[in-house]
Amino acid sequence: MSLAALVTGCRQPDPVVPVPEVNITEGVAAPEQLEFYVSATQADEIAFICVETMDEVKVYKAEALFEEGEVFAATEEPVLHTVTGLKQGTEYTIYAAAVKDEGTAKYYSGVKELSMTTGVVPKILEFVDASKTGFSYKVNAEEGQMFYH
């Protein structure tokens, strides 16, 4: 009589790889600054960079954002960030990514992007003419606005 033996091996399940996800949402656009909110899940750090939008778009990889951009600790709650010193009436693109550092390996999120345009300060006074004794100007007022001088 023959006995058939069934041998099975126990294999350890593959470890669950953390997949960070970054989120970026629009805040306030002012004449020379932009405000936006950034958050991430399953991440240790977030990086972002704000660049003027050009016809030729540079493709940013997540790793490059951590080398070239601003890096800060990740939170699941949105954190307000402000970029100042920008040009009025100009479109900018903000790129953001997150990373989970497991010691032996780093896991990056995909890169998210947000386009925003800075505001423009309205030109209220407009020079018209000047002479030796005076000058004239025009006030560009919208309906209902009042100016005193």
- The residue-averaged pLDDT of 34-57 equals 94
Confidence band, pLDDT 50/70/90 cuts, at residue 1: low
Average pLDDT of the chain?
87
The pLDDT assigned to 58 comes to: 83
Average pLDDT for residues 68-80, to the nearest whole number? 97
Residue 36: exposure state from Cβ atoms within 10 A (0-12, 13-18, ≥19): buried
Looking at residue 133, its pLDDT comes to: 83
pTM for the whole thing?
0.75
- Residue 13 clears pLDDT 70, i.e. is over it: no
Q: Which strand ranges, in their side-by-side order, compose the sheet holding 21-30?
A: 21-30, 33-41, 79-84
Angle at 72 between CA 29 and CA 115, to 5 degrees: 30
What is the mean pLDDT of the segment spanning 14-28? 87
Q: How many CA atoms are closer than 13 Å to the CA of 141, on its beta-carbon side?
A: 9
Q: Where are the alpha helices (DSSP H) in the chain?
A: 62-68
